[in-house]
Amino acid sequence: MCGRFVITSAPEALRQLFGYAEQPNFPPRFNIAPTQPIPVVIIENGIRHFRLMRWGLLPAWVKDPRKFTLLINARSETIQEKPAFKNAIKRRRCLIPADGYYEWQAYEDRKRPYFIHRRDGQPFGFAGLAETWIGPNGEELDTVAVVTAPASADLAELHHRVPVAIAPEDFERWLDCRANGVEAAMLLLTAPQEGEFAWHEVSTRVNRVANDDAQLTLPITAEQIAAEQAAAAKKSAARKVTSAASEDDGQGSLF
């Protein structure tokens, strides 16, 4: 699963790692969410390019986007059969630069967010699938989904699925759809090796898309956890009071 991720590396560092021609100057992002434009690396005319695409794949055959489910993830086990992905896995494989992502774990009566990143602190590339949707008036929308796979034993503690991270030495193998067939690409769709990624709990501030700052990725302290729990309990109690008040119209009842 991948529903929020982070890009904090300098643009030049990412350009060197992914080898695209452009030199975009984009700001660090600490809470990227679906439907937002995200950086994507894709091969066009034999050259790697940096493109901005909407996170949420929209197949070319969709007639009305408003009636189509947002596809932010693509399961590796079924992408060759699913109508939404079977064309993209053959012809429009791409990479999505990232420095980490968030996952939520259910705990008692709340969900605890965690920031997951490479143990060595280096950026990496999510395996992505891209499609260009063309509307009835000729408008074009480039869209993308993150490929996921069953989690390795360590990451399964947080969630049973993880986004696929492609190693730098495999970038070309994944990206070059003309030279490398689907069979070669499918071999890359596995979870990270155990110990490759690390994680820590972070503030529930990440739950709000409007929050986008460096504090979101920092480990949360015991004191902060206690404060967030107290605030959540206070908010819940206030909702109950409001709900009870709305049920009483102040006139009483004879029946």
Q: pLDDT digit string (tens) for 80-121?
A: 999 999 999 999 999 999 999 999 998 777 789 999 999 999
pTM (2 d.p.):
0.88
- Pair 103, 1: CB distance under 8 Å: yes
**Helix, strand or coil for residue 12?**
helix
Q: How far apart are CA 205 and CA 195, in angstroms?
A: 27
Return the CATH fold of 4-217: hypothetical protein yedk fold (3.90.1680)
pLDDT in tens, 73-87: 999 999 999 999 999
Q: Alpha carbon of 55 to those of 3, 60, 188: distances in Å?
A: 10, 15, 22
Domain boundaries, the chain: 4-217, 220-248
